[in-house]
């Protein structure tokens, strides 16, 4: 790696993408392929039989159309299910699948007997499908957050043990090349012993505001942004720190969206304030979303263009937490949901130096096509690492799917996430919510039977 302490001598390092994709992979032994029926030499013996519950945006895109387009040699859809009969039919066309569609989950599982069930429903319903899916004989691939409260976390852990089936949580943020680069620098001991992290995430008034338009606005459906959004960030922390969280103290308020707005309506299409509202969202401009949601709202009243100032919004839009890890690392975390840009600032503080990054996802600095990480050494030089952007969460989505569906892809950066990982990411958010309610520090060990350890346990989910 190149070293410089001068901004003018920065070098372009296409570092982590390449490492994740090739160098480190080839240096390690090959695992039996995860969650599939494929042979070790990449020749297709039998395709993975996949069913999906929840055919909305994520289900039809990342886990639908993209799978049919890129991985048809390795898998086939055998069933699609959604509570909305119109949306599941629309989704089938969007995905390009030829399998039957269902509105009855049990019926789909009994008739199609999938090897793998993909869970992409509303967050608070994940546990029902994960548990029942395993009971009915499938391994599970679930979107984050794994679930939304501590009882549901326990249910999932118990069901996995009881059924012998496996559940993988798709923490795609781990696979973004610049975050993998941070992991590598930490693992390599570049800043000595990691002692604390300052981690501040900003959601913008476009993508961030979207959470306040839909079901995510209700704690009972999303668990709040502590679960829906921050579980991504907590999982990154757990992975980077390589230890389990011990305790959480948190604060949170709703002081921008919801009841704080100057006016409101049910949704933008029926609103008299569209001319003056900065949050006016014209769903008709997006044909795909119109077809998926507006054309099917007659079945369930799900408005994709819901008002961000509705009085029923009961999640926080400003949050902060102090998290202590078993290995002694301390984290100062915050999440703000009404920022001009989307992204984050992070500082990893160690005994021999510091790693910093300011990542702007929605409006990159100077329209740069890379993410930059700076490594500072105490009494020494700086190094700049510039990691090229890729499509879909910085290129992470593709790397995650390759690892799941292609044969012979190893896991050198320990990015594969188990239910234990899914649980600890959720438990930090749940502890934060409980801490705000009680005003007390919440111990993670008090929430479930899962006991946090000084060193994170790794499991390659197969
Ligand atoms: N990892 C990521 O970057 C990422 C990005 C987006 C979404 N997600 C996750 O994907 C999941 C889906 O999000 P989305 O944006 O597609 O939401 P969405 O609202 O577009 O889709 C959810 C679908 O689930 C269906 N559904 C809800 N309850 C159901 C039930 N009880 N039975 C059957 N179907 C039911 C809805 O009708 C809808 O079609 C969420 O868990 C979300 O957190 C992850």
* Digit-coded pLDDT (tens) for 81-91: 999 999 999 99
57 and 111: one domain?
yes
| pLDDT at residue number 187 | 98
Mean pLDDT per 10-residue interval, the chain, length 462 residues = 30 33 30 39 73 98 97 98 98 98 98 98 98 98 98 98 98 96 98 98 96 98 98 98 98 98 96 97 97 98 97 98 98 98 97 97 73 97 93 87 94 97 98 98 98 96 81
Q: Of 141, 170, 199, which residue is a domain's last?
A: 170
What is the domain-level CATH number for residue 245?
3.30.360.10
57 and 76: one domain?
yes
Q: Is residue 5 part of a domain?
A: no
130 and 191: one domain?
no
Q: Which of 128, 191, 177 is nearest to 375 (CA)?
A: 191
| pLDDT at residue number 365 | 57
Q: Is residue 452 part of a domain?
A: no
Residue owning the nearest CA to atom 41 of ligand 1: 123
| pLDDT at residue number 6 | 30
187 and 149: one domain?
no
122 and 138: one domain?
yes
Residue owning the nearest CA to atom 11 of ligand 1: 120
103 and 159: one domain?
yes
Structure tokens at 163: 């059924």
184 and 296: one domain?
no
The boundaries of the domain holding residue 250 are: 177-257+314-391+418-446
242 and 268: one domain?
no
Residue owning the nearest CA to atom 39 of ligand 1: 56
Residue owning the nearest CA to atom 43 of ligand 1: 144
Q: Is residue 29 part of a domain?
A: no
What is the domain-level CATH number for residue 57?
3.40.50.720
Both ends of the chain: CA-CA distance in Å? 34
Residues paired with residue 197 on neighbouring β-strands, in sequence order: 331, 348
| pLDDT at residue number 389 | 85
Q: Is residue 462 part of a domain?
A: no
CA of 454 to the centre of ligand 1 (A): 34
277 and 235: one domain?
no
Q: Is residue 22 part of a domain?
A: no
143 Cβ below 6 A of ligand 1: yes
How many structural domains are present in the chain? 3
């Amino acid at each position: 790696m190149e070293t410089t302490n001068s901004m003018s001598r920065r070098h372009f390092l296409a570092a982590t993408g390449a490492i994740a994709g090739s160098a480190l992979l080839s240096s390690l032994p090959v695992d039996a392929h995860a969650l599939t029926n494929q042979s070790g030499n990449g020749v297709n013996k039998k395709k993975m039989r996949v069913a999906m519950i929840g055919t909305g945006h994520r289900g039809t895109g990342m886990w639908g159309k993209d799978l049919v387009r890129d991985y048809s040699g390795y898998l086939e859809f055998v069933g699609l299910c959604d509570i909305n009969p119109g949306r599941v039919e629309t989704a089938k066309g969007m995905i390009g699948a030829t399998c039957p569609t269902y509105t009855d989950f049990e019926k789909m599982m009994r008739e199609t007997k999938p090897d793998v069930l993909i869970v992409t429903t509303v967050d608070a319903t994940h546990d029902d499908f994960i548990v029942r899916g395993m009971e009915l004989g499938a391994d599970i691939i679930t979107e984050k957050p794994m679930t939304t409260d501590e009882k549901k976390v326990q249910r999932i852990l118990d069901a996995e043990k009881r059924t012998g089936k496996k559940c993988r949580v798709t923490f795609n943020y781990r696979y973004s090349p610049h975050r993998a680069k941070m992991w590598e620098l930490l693992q390599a001991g570049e800043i000595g012993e990691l002692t604390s992290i300052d981690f501040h995430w900003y959601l913008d008034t476009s993508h961030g505001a979207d959470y306040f338009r839909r079901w995510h606005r209700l704690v009972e459906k999303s668990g709040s942004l502590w679960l829906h959004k921050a579980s991504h960030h907590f999982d990154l922390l757990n992975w980077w720190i390589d230890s389990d969280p011990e305790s959480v103290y948190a604060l949170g308020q709703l002081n921008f969206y919801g009841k704080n707005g100057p006016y409101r309506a049910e949704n933008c299409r029926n609103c008299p304030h569209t001319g003056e509202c900065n949050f006016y969202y014209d769903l008709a401009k997006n044909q795909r979303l119109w077809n998926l949601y507006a054309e099917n709202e007659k079945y369930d009243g799900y408005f994709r263009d819901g008002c961000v100032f509705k009085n029923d919004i009961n999640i926080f839009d400003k949050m902060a937490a102090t998290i202590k890890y078993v290995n002694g690392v301390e984290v100062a975390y915050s999440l703000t949901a009404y920022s001009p840009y989307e992204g984050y600032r992070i500082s990893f503080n160690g005994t021999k130096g510091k790693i910093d990054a300011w990542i702007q996802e929605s409006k990159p600095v100077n329209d740069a096509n890379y993410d930059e990480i700076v490594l500072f050494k105490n009494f020494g030089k700086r190094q700049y690492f510039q990691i090229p952007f890729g499509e879909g969460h910085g290129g992470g989505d593709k790397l995650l799917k390759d690892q799941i569906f292609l044969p012979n892809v190893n896991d050198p950066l320990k990015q594969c996430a188990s239910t234990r990982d899914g649980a600890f990411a959720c438990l930090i958010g749940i502890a934060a919510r409980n801490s705000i309610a009680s005003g007390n520090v919440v111990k993670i060990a008090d929430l479930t039977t899962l006991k946090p350890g000084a060193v994170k346990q790794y499991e390659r989910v197969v």
